[in-house]
Structure formats: structure tokens, C-alpha cells
Chain A
Amino acid sequence: MTQERATLPPVTPPAPPLVQLRRVAKAYRRGQQLVPVLADISFDIAAGEFLALMGPSGSGKSTLLNLIAGIDRASSGEIRVAGEDIAAYGEAELADWRARTIGFIFQFYNLMPVLTALENVELPLLLTRLSRAERRERAAAALAMVGLAERMDHTPSELSGGQQQRVAIARALITDPVLIVADEPTGDLDRESAHDILRLLQRLNRELGKTIVMVTHDPHAAGHAHAIMHLEKGALSAREELGDGVAGGLSGASDGSGGAY
């Protein structure tokens, strides 16, 4: 018995989840009417997880992503990211928190058209105290990591959609955020470019340990995540565990056949 106890591995408390949502609700005011978008949402996202949010149009998946990213505010409930209760923050504090904590990837890339790829990636570093040379160095390294070392001086209009999204990913990574949120990152790309972007996201997750929350309506894209959270009419309907992300497709990923949440 004693011998057995001695061979047990040391007990380590489980790491707290990176994102915690508790009874989160969101409603928009349209004239005199309150239109509910999300109701009673509670779930956790572990650090290092790659989670896909799926659901039909109007299910509230983008709104949920916006709340987690701190660019919209919940009507009620609590959202904690990396232990910080973001509902308590004022606008300036929240902006500062986003700059430190969140990396954004948008469907339409949202790059500044007048800046080069390098300058676009450098942009978030303007909010840090890094020198110009340091900013340039880091931006160049981030672009090299996404395979665009040769295209640094090109403006977005001189890049393909896939390349623009790579620049956006480099921009999302440049501040080393704990959480990357991606809203339909492959929605505007052809099949091949979409596949490249999804593989890149997987690499960020596996090799750099980045926690990623991705909104998509594409089952193929969702198949690259560890898990899929399904939303229906503003409520969570199911969570589907996929293991380490099945690149190349996922049967049944969109049919809600996973375990009930």
C-alpha cells in the first residue's frame, strides 16, 4: 500500500480555464424592443484549446466571439479571460486589455490598404514601448513565420486573399496574445488558400500553444479544431470533441451529433 502510494505521480491541481463564461446573455435594443441574441451561455475554454463555434446565421456565434474578444459587452453574466473580469473594465482599460491579450483575425483581413505587409504587422506594436527597430525586427520575423518573408514591402492590394490573411495572422500574433479570435477566417478564400490558413492556425495552436476560438459555418474548417461548440438560436446546443483536429474534413461535424452540452 505504502509502496503503491510512493509510485503515484504528484497531484497537480488542474490549470484554470483560459476563458470562463457564466450565464452570459446579450440583447440588442431595436427601437423600443429588446432583441435577445444570446441567452444563459456558460462554458470554459482551456488554455491551448482550438475551439470552433458553429451555427446557422443568426445563431449568435459572432456575437459570442465579440464578447469573448472584448469588442462588445454582455448584457448580463460574467466573462473572464486569463483570470480578468472584462465586464468590469472601462473603454480605455478594455482597449488596453485587448491590445495585450487578444489577436484578431477577420474574414475580410481588415488590413490597412495604404500600409505594406510589414507596416500592417507592426501596427499593434505601436501600442508597446518597443523601438522602431525592434518593432520592425519582430514584424519581419512574424511575416517570415507565416511564409511571407519575400512579400514584406507589398501592400495588401498586391497580395492574394490567402496572403492577406497570412499577414492578418502575423498581425494577430505579433503581440504574443494569449487568445486568438478568428471570425470566418476562410470565408473569403478559395479552397486551397483556406486549407493553408487552417493548417497555419493548427500550427500556431500546436507549436506555439496559442488558444484559438474560430467562428465558422464551414464543417471542413471546423474539422481542424479540437472541439466544436454548436449554437442554435442564441443558446449552446452541443459540444463535439474532435481530439487533435482532423485536417481534411470531418464527418458529422455539422450535424450536431456530438454529445449534448
Chain B
Amino acid sequence: MLLVLAFRNAFRHRLRTLLTLAGLTVAVTAFGLLSTVVDAWYAGAEGASNARLVTRNAISLVFPLPVNYREKIRRVDGVVGITHSNWFGGIYKEPKNFFAQFAVEADTFLDLYPEFVLSEAERRDFLRDRKGCIVGSKLAATYGFKVGDTIQLKGTIFPGTWEFVVRGIYHGREAKTDVSQMLFHWSYVNETITRQIPRRANQIGVYVVKIDDPARAAEISSRIDAEFKNTSAETLTETEKAFQLSFVSMTEAIVVAIRAVSYLVIVIILAVMANTMAMTVRERTAEYATLKALGFSPGFVVGLIVGESAAIALAGGLIAVALTFPLAAVFAQAVGTLFPVFNVSAETVALQLLCALGVGLLAAALPARRAMGIRIVDGLRAVA
């Protein structure tokens, strides 16, 4: 009966309840979307492996490393695999069509990144064709790339117009895998550059190192960096996660602002909901007094108020969760490959429901306290 009473009370003033529900739905949906944006920001770091290290030039990422570091790093104790990649930074048709392009050592790269899933035939074709490339499924969907297509990039770091033939479309083994990249052969880029600008030949952007035990990451990093101490290109080695987070930290203020706004939205709806519940309780003072006169405890009255508030809040939360998924898909479509991974996580859904429930409970707290404390005779007088 308590539940029946709370539920029917919730829909007594339909317009008021529906407006509150709508506000709550918008707020919790906005919270979910903003949280997903923040998650997307950290997606690169989330998808990074602890068993991989990244070795770059100690001065800055924009300075390259010599190709002959490869074997020295490979020989360091604990290193079981190595590959390398260079940021290409080409423009596809127009500068606004931004996506990540890397010139990689193809066979070792695919070995170190088993989360990039290709069919055997696609892998074989890619490795055979020095002008071949592979693109992530999201990137392919965004620009309509198909196997056999030629992609023309205008180089910014590597001058000239570059043509690559799509030999495969890779998929992510996990939801957090970045499937918006384009990968092609470093050897092709290097050969071309060697001819055009000999002084920039044989340069590597970063080495990616696979280690035997993630627990030894710090030790192995130190050993690698020690190898190149006092050379013209000293190295800085860190885990892939730390490497990715260093990019995020550059834009941390934006992330903090987005996170703050997402919680601010919840605080605003809390104020709106608390006002609704305060009005509701004020109107029903006589009913609560009657229940108390009949012998119901103040706890029963609190249960009614909290139950009603929580029911509205949870309904809003559930609708918001249901809306977040299609809206996130539309958002991801709109921003294209800006966010390589844009998935609504289970944690975000849980946070949305928790926020909704929290709003429901907090909004009811003060009105419930007031209803609890009201004297029966004063409450009954509210009828007359």
C-alpha cells in the first residue's frame, strides 16, 4: 500500500511531475553525454597496455630518434618485442578531415598490437604492398573507405602528395580499441624522404617496446634510457598509458571544465526537484497529519515522500539512460574521428542512475524532515 500510495501520489499533478521528469531526464542525459566525452578523452590511455613502453626523444616528441636505436633497445633485458611509428600528419582533402595517420614498421607493429584485428588475407595484402595501408573500421565508415580504394594525403611533416591503397580494414578486439587510425609502411615513407630530403632519412618518431613483465616497466625503462645517456638523442621511456596521459594532461583544463559542468547540471536539477517536493509536501500537510493521527509513524510519512521522490527520479534516470545511447551515437557521428572511441560505459550508466537516485533522495530530505516534525493538530488545521 505504501508503494501504491507513493506511486499514485507521484502522478497526482501530472503536468508538474512530467515537467520535473523532463528536466531530470535532460540533466541526467547531459551528465551521461558529458561523462562519455570525458571518457573519450581518456580512451587512448584506457586502451593502452601496461606491457608496452614508448621510447621517445627526451627533449620533445617532435624530435626524432635514429633508426639504429632499434637493435640496442631490442637487446635490453626484459624487452621481447619492438616496433616503431611516426606521426604523419597528412591532410585528407581538407584540413577539417582530421584523423591519425602513422607510418609504422608494419609486421612488428601488428604483432605488438593484437587488438587491431585483420583477416589473414588483409594482413598478407598489406604486408606485401609497400604503398598499402590499413584503416580502422570507424574511419572507414566515416569516409566510406573500402578495400582497394586509393587514399591521397597531402603531407605536412613529410612534403608532397602521398597515395596509399587500402589493403584492409581493421576492427578492435575490445570496445576501447582505437579504430579510427590509418597505418601504412614507414619503409615507403622513409625511401621517399631519403630521396627528397636526405638529412631526414632513417628517423623514427617513437619506439614501442613490448616487455616480458609489466611489473618491471620502471626498471626496463631506466635501462633503455641509460643505453642512450650522453648521446645526441637521449631517450625518455615510459609506459604507453603514461605516454597517452601526457597528451590528455595538455588539455586537462577542458576535461575538468566538462566534468564540472556535468555535475553542475545535476546540482541544478537537484534544486528544481527539491522545490517540487517542497511544494508537494506543503500541499499534503493535512494528509500526512491525518496518517499520523490514524497511528502511522513519522517514518511511514517519510517513506511516502522519499518513495515518491525516488520513483520520479529513477524514472527520469532510466529514461535518460535509454536516451543516452542513441544520442551518444548521433554525437559520435557528428564529431567523426575526433574521438576515436566514443562509447557509453557501464560506469557512466551506473553513475547516471546513482545521480538520479541521489537527486531523488536529497530532494526529499528536507521536505520529509519538515513533514516528520509537523504537529498533527497544526497539520489538520491546514485543511480548514
Q: B380 and A123: CB pair below 8 A? A: no
CA distance A95 to B8 in the complex (A): 25
Residues of A within 8 A of B (CB): 66, 69, 71-72, 92, 95-96, 98-100, 104, 106-108, 110, 112-115, 119, 122-124, 126-127, 171
Given contacts A66-B377, A71-B377, A108-B384, contact A114 B294 (CB under 8 A): no
Q: Does B293 contact A (CB under 8 A)?
A: yes
Q: For residue B345, which residues in chain A have a CB less than 8 angstroms away from its CB?
A: none
Residues of A within 8 A of B290 (CB): 104, 106, 110, 112
B9 contacts partner chain A, Cβ-Cβ < 8 Å: yes
Q: A123 touching B9 by the CB < 8 A rule? A: no
Q: Tell me, in angstroms, the Cα distance from A110 to B376 when the chains sit together.
A: 13
Q: Which of B1-40 contact A (CB under 8 A)?
A: 1-2, 4-5, 8-9, 12
B292 in the interface, Cβ–Cβ < 8 Å? yes
- Which residues of chain B have C-beta atoms less than 8 A from A127's C-beta? 294-296
B301 to chain A, nearest CB (A): 11
Query: In the bound complex, do residue A110 and residue B287 qualify as a contact, i.e. CB atoms below 8 Å apart?
Result: yes
A52 to chain B, nearest CB (A): 20
Tell me, in angstroms, the Cα distance from A20 to B380 when the chains sit together.
Answer: 25
Residue from B1, B12, B287, B296 within 8 A of A95 (CB atoms): B296
Chain B hits for A92, CB < 8 A: 297
Which residues of A are found within 8 Å of B296, using beta-carbon distances?
A: 95, 99, 126-127
Kindly provide the distance from the CB of B308 to the nearest chain A CB, expressed in whole angstroms: 11
Of all chain B residues, which has the CB nearest A135?
A: B1
Neighbouring B residues of A114 by C-beta, 8 Å: 5, 8-9, 12
- Asked if A115 and B383 make an inter-chain contact with CB atoms under 8 angstroms apart, the answer reads no
Contact of B270 with A by CB under 8 A: no
Which of chain B's residues have a CB closer than 8 A to the CB of A98? 293-295
Which 9 A-B residue pairings sit nearest by Cβ, starting from the closest? A99-B295, A114-B8, A110-B290, A71-B376, A108-B383, A98-B295, A72-B377, A95-B295, A71-B293
Neighbour of B384 across the interface among A66, A107, A122, CB < 8 A:
A107
- Across-interface contacts of A124 in B (CB, < 8 A): 294-295
Q: Which B residue sits closest to A111, measured CB to CB?
A: B290
Q: How far is the CA of A99 from the CA of B375 in the complex (A)?
A: 17
Whole-angstrom distance from the CB of A66 to the nearest CB of chain B?
A: 5
From A66, A69, A107, A113, contact of B12 by CB (8 A) = A113
Q: Please report the C-alpha to C-alpha distance between residue A122 and residue B1 in the assembled complex, in whole angstroms.
A: 10
**Interface size range on B against A:** 20 to 34
Instruction: Tell me whether chain B's interface is mostly helix, strand or loop, or mixed.
Output: helix
A69 CB, min distance to chain B CBs, angstroms: 8
Query: Is B312 part of the binding interface, using a Cβ–Cβ cutoff of 8 Å?
Result: no
Beyond the given A92-B297, A99-B295, A108-B384, could you list 15 further A-B residue pairs with CB under 8 A, ordered by the A residue number? A66-B377, A69-B293, A71-B380, A72-B376, A98-B294, A106-B290, A106-B383, A112-B5, A112-B290, A113-B12, A114-B8, A114-B9, A123-B1, A127-B295, A127-B296
Tell me the nearest residue of chain A to B7, going by C-beta: A114
A106 to B294, CA, bound (A): 12
Q: In the complex, what distance in Å separates the CA atom of A66 from the CA atom of B293?
A: 10
Give every chain B residue within 8 A of A72 (Cβ-Cβ): 375-377
Shortest CB distance A216–B (Å): 15
Q: B209 at the A/B interface (Cβ < 8 Å)?
A: no
Cα A99 to Cα B295 with chains together (Å): 5
Give Cα A2 to B286, complex, Å. Answer: 65
Interface-centre pick from A115, A119, A124, A126 (highest chain B CB count, 10 A)? A126
User: Do the beta carbons of B294 and A104 come within 8 Å of each other?
Assistant: yes
Q: When the two chains form their complex, are residues A112 and B287 in contact, meaning their CB atoms are under 8 A apart? A: yes
Q: Tell me the bound Cα distance from A69 to B294 in angstroms.
A: 10
Complex CA–CA separation, A87 to B253 (angstroms): 64
Query: Separation in Å of the A257 CB from the closest CB of chain B?
Result: 30
A122 to B384: give the CA distance in the assembly, Å.
Answer: 25
**Contact A126 to B1, CB < 8 A, known contacts A104-B293, A110-B286:** yes
Name 7 interchain pairs, CB-CB below 8 A, sorted by A. A72-B375, A72-B377, A106-B290, A108-B286, A114-B8, A124-B294, A127-B295
Q: Report chain B residues within 8 Å CB of A110.
A: 286-287, 290, 380, 383
Nearest Cβ on chain A to B379's Cβ, whole angstroms: 9
CB-CB under 8 A from B377, the residues of chain A are 66, 71-72
For residue A136, give the distance in angstroms from its CB to the closest CB of chain B: 11
Q: Known A110-B287, A115-B8; judge A96-B295 contact (CB<8 A).
A: yes
Which residues of B from 267 to 314 have beta carbons under 8 Å from A? 286-287, 290-297
B295 touching A106, Cβ below 8 Å: no
Closest Cβ of chain A to B366, distance in Å, is: 21
Residues of chain B within 8 A (CB-CB) of A99 are 294-296
Which of A69, A96, A106, A114 has the most chain B CB atoms inside 10 A of its CB? A114
CA distance A92 to B300 in the complex (A): 12
